[in-house]
Structure 1
Amino acid sequence: MGKTAPSQQLLKLVCHMSRRLNREWTIFRSIEDGAGQKCVDLFDRHNGTFGFEEFRKDPEDGGSWTPVHYFSGREFPNADEALRAAKEAVAWLRDVI
């Protein structure tokens, strides 16, 4: 398979944005499980805080990413703390990273 075009990468990133994520937040890392059915997005906010959310992709949802929990409301002072908290909260993530 070839590389994904930048416009398709952007579309994929935008698709990760759920109603639970503010569109002004910037996703700086998206980590998928080995099967491509779960992912965790790490993001920063304009107020200088960081956060994360877990998603799943189900065929009945048309392949779109669906939020699994309400982690996005938690705030962390930096990206490392957000990642640490995500690894504590999302069991499968520890096996991927």
Structure 2
Amino acid sequence: MTLTLTLIMTLIMTLLMTLNMTLTLTLNMTLTMTLPMTLNMTLNVTLTMTLNMTFSMTLTMTLIMTLTMTLTMTLIMTLTMTLTMTLTMTSP
């Protein structure tokens, strides 16, 4: 009776220990591998995308606006000045 009890106890203990070890190891490995990778990927992608989009949009918009404004203003000013000057000079 005692032999069977000890055998059953040792079997159960070994089974429990192996299960515990394998489960904890697999869970630990999968969690440590998957969580940082997913977090890193999501953070990297979102941050770079938002930064890239905001910078490119603001920079291009400001550049385009300033360039168009200065160009149109200079063109308008030069045209009006030349036209008025030629008109005043040629008029009798």
Q: TM-score, normalised by structure 1?
A: 0.17
Q: Which structure dedicates a bigger proportion of its chain to strand?
A: 1
Q: Which structure dedicates a bigger proportion of its chain to helix?
A: 2
> For the pair shown, which has the larger CA radius of gyration, 1 or 2?
2
Q: TM-score, normalised by structure 2?
A: 0.18
